[in-house]
């Protein structure tokens, strides 16, 4: 934006303009700088840049690139953080944020209900390097209070858990972490940048898998770490740039264009998700229906206070178990069977046999991943068409 700093702008304006860097040609749409390297005018200029590069001076695309920088500045403006670092995937962001700030002997407290790969980092990777990890029931504030110690370095959670859609009390958990000086890191995928109030509620570092709603059309992997300049540039960046987690300029361009339409898309998707959830309440084939803003969700009040809408995902639990769930999946005509979320296309996932397959049965049960559970990520199709597709498939199940 020409007047980037003159007035506060609303998120929809920032999502279209923030971070834009124009070349000498004055292009309207953001340029895709598909270059690994950058030419220095003189040997002295190369020396100076390696000594101390500004944010507008680039060395190598693993360190930074103008298209990637545009995406980083735009998402930081949208999230309300000082800075951001874009990564090759959501998992590169989660791993980078954690590993860059932890050392042997450190203690981490995390919610147990996590995306499978996040759980792998916390349960398998970090302990191998001497980091102690305590997992708690994220919905139980007493459990957080008991687990967080004077020497806890990091508090980690997904603001809304996958796939059972448990809601974390962001302000309360952040306050418990800050009381001992811990850094509070939130994987905020299900909240989306549009509905996120994570920073305002006290989170220090917000992470997105941009593979989900930010791309929004299922094309590219990406991730981003949003935080203070100090955290992003002094803690995360040195680790990320030397270990090769960089987002490609092409993917950054896709994500930039995705941010322009993010607000419109996720509002439409969230509206349809809530309509479908309300239509399915009390359906005879369902043992449970989970959506953060349904009156029947045990944390509906908390979810409403933290998020303007309930998100784009709901979960249904078929009373007939796995057989009924599979009959339902195979009868869907519009909704595709896959495992992404936040896509323009509606997607149905059976977590017990796919994304969470490797978990032992007792852990699945503890996380609410029953044989009949199906996660529905709602896309941009017509709401009435989607509702009919789901109802028809339920009739067959």
Ligand X SMILES: *Cc1c(COP(=O)(O)O)cnc(C)c1O
Interacting residues toward ligand X by CB under 6 A? 89-91, 94, 115, 117-118, 158, 162, 187, 189, 209, 211-212, 221, 223
| For ligand X, the closer CB: 35 or 117 | 117
Q: Cα angle at 194 between 190 and 199, to 5 degrees?
A: 80
Let me know: does 75 contact 208? Beta carbons within 8 Å. Answer: yes
CA-derived radius of gyration, the chain: 21
Let me know: does 178 contact 184? Beta carbons within 8 Å. Answer: yes
Distances (CA, A) of 159 to 174, 193, 256, 273, 303: 11, 12, 24, 18, 10
DSSP state of 31: P
User: In whole angstroms, how close is the CB of 9 to ligand X at the nearest point?
Assistant: 28
| For ligand X, the closer CB: 182 or 191 | 191
| For ligand X, the closer CB: 152 or 209 | 209
User: In whole angstroms, how close is the CB of 84 to ligand X at the nearest point?
Assistant: 15
Instruction: State the helix-helix crossing angle for 249-280 and 383-396, rounded to 10 degrees.
Output: 60
By C-alpha distance, which of 366, 352, 344, 359 is closest to 315? Answer: 352
| For ligand X, the closer CB: 33 or 115 | 115
User: In whole angstroms, how close is the CB of 215 to ligand X at the nearest point?
Assistant: 9
List the structure tokens of 239.
Answer: 């680790």
User: In whole angstroms, how close is the CB of 236 to ligand X at the nearest point?
Assistant: 16
By C-alpha distance, which of 245, 198, 201 is closest to 86? Answer: 245
- CB nearest ligand X: which residue? 90
By C-alpha distance, which of 259, 334, 344, 276 is closest to 310? Answer: 276
| For ligand X, the closer CB: 223 or 249 | 223
| For ligand X, the closer CB: 376 or 393 | 376
User: In whole angstroms, how close is the CB of 91 to ligand X at the nearest point?
Assistant: 4
| For ligand X, the closer CB: 79 or 389 | 79
User: In whole angstroms, how close is the CB of 317 to ligand X at the nearest point?
Assistant: 20
| For ligand X, the closer CB: 19 or 90 | 90
SS3 361: helix
Query: Which residues are within 8 A (CB) of 156 and not within 5 positions of it... i.e. 6 or more apart?
Result: 98, 108, 109, 110, 111, 118, 122, 185, 186, 187
């Amino acid at each position: 934006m020409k007047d980037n700093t003159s007035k506060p702008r609303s998120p929809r304006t920032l999502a279209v303009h923030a971070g834009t860097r124009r070349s000498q040609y004055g292009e309207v749409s953001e340029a895709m700088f598909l270059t690994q390297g950058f030419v220095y005018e003189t040997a002295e200029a190369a020396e100076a840049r390696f000594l101390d590069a500004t944010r507008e001076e680039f060395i190598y695309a693993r360190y930074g690139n103008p298209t990637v920088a545009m995406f980083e500045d735009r998402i930081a403006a949208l999230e309300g953080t000082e800075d951001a670092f874009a990564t090759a995937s959501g998992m590169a962001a989660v791993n980078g944020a954690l590993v860059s700030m932890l050392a042997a002997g450190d203690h981490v407290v995390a919610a147990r209900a996590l995306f499978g790969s996040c759980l792998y980092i916390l349960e398998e990777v970090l302990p191998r390097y001497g980091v102690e990890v305590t997992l708690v029931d994220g919905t139980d504030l007493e459990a957080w209070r008991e687990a967080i110690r004077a020497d806890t370095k990091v508090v980690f959670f997904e603001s809304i858990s996958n796939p059972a859609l448990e809601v974390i009390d962001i302000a309360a958990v952040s306050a418990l972490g800050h009381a001992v000086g811990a850094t509070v890191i939130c994987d905020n995928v299900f909240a989306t940048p549009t509905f996120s109030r994570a920073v305002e509620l006290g989170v220090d570092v917000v992470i997105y898998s941009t593979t989900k709603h930010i791309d929004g059309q299922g094309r590219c992997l990406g991730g981003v770490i949003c935080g203070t300049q100090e955290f992003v540039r002094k803690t995360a960046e040195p680790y990320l740039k030397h270990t090769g987690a960089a987002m490609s300029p092409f993917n950054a361009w896709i994500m930039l264009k995705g941010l322009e339409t993010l607000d419109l898309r996720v509002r439409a998707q969230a509206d349809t998700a809530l309509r479908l959830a309300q239509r399915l309440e009390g359906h005879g084939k369902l043992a449970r229906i989970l959506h953060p803003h349904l009156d029947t969700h045990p944390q509906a009040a908390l979810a409403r206070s933290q998020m303007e809408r309930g998100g784009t995902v709901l979960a249904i639990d078929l009373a007939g178990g796995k057989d009924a769930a599979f009959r339902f999946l195979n009868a869907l005509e519009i909704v595709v069977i896959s495992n992404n979320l936040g896509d323009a296309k509606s997607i149905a996932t059976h977590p017990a046999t796919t994304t969470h397959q490797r978990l032992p049965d007792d852990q699945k049960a503890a996380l609410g991943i029953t044989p009949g559970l199906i996660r529905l990520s709602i896309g941009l199709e017509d709401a009435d068409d989607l509702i009919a597709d789901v109802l028809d498939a339920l009739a067959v199940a």
